[in-house]
Amino acid sequence: MKCLTYSECANWCSLRSIPTKDIEGYIVGPHPDLQSPPFFMVEFKPPTDSGRKVALARFLLSLLDPAPEMLFWLGDWAVWPSSQHMPLFTRFRQAVGERRPLIEAPGHLLTPDENDDGISILTISLEFIWDCHVLTASGRDAIFVSHDEWGWFASREESVAESVRKKMEAWT
């Protein structure tokens, strides 16, 4: 796992035609509407049960297009401070050699061999009620979970989104 700064995340996205949102010169993350080129969206509501959140993280990542790397870009992690325990995530990052605070390097670039780390990041995002974008290197698929407790799976291929919609209905 390699942690990336905001600018490095934006550059990674740019190379894959994934638009980013820039507010007053500060890159804040991938643009949530993903309109250029269009993405087909499947919305979902995360479960409240912790075990189901872990299962959802595994399930969502299994739906993504296999890619040589994925970017997990965290944002809005302090909206609900009582729902998080930052030392847990700090220790997770330190275990892979990352010493910078999350605010300096909110991106996590993972390879397929690091899938368990991806499940961990997405699970923590669901448990701590953080924003998290998961983007594939192919640029085809994306996942977003929100601090407002909703999320979506997106694909540039309508048939993939429709397949995910059916799998999501069966999963819930």
d(CA 152, CA 56) in angstroms, rounded, equals 12
User: Rg of the chain over CA atoms, in angstroms?
Assistant: 15
Decide if 133 contacts 110 (C-beta within 8 A): no
Q: Please write the tens of the pLDDT for every residue from 33-53.
A: 565 567 899 999 999 999 999
Q: Please write the tens of the pLDDT for every residue from 64-97.
A: 988 899 999 998 888 888 889 999 999 999 999 9
Q: Please write the tens of the pLDDT for every residue from 14-35.
A: 898 888 877 665 666 676 556 5
d(CA 133, CA 30) in angstroms, rounded, equals 7
Q: Please write the tens of the pLDDT for every residue from 127-138.
A: 999 999 999 999
CA angle centred on 120, ends 75 and 69, rounded to 5°: 75
Decide if 24 contacts 15 (C-beta within 8 A): no
- Residue 120, pLDDT > 90, answer yes
pLDDT of residue 26: 60
One-letter amino acid identity for 29? G
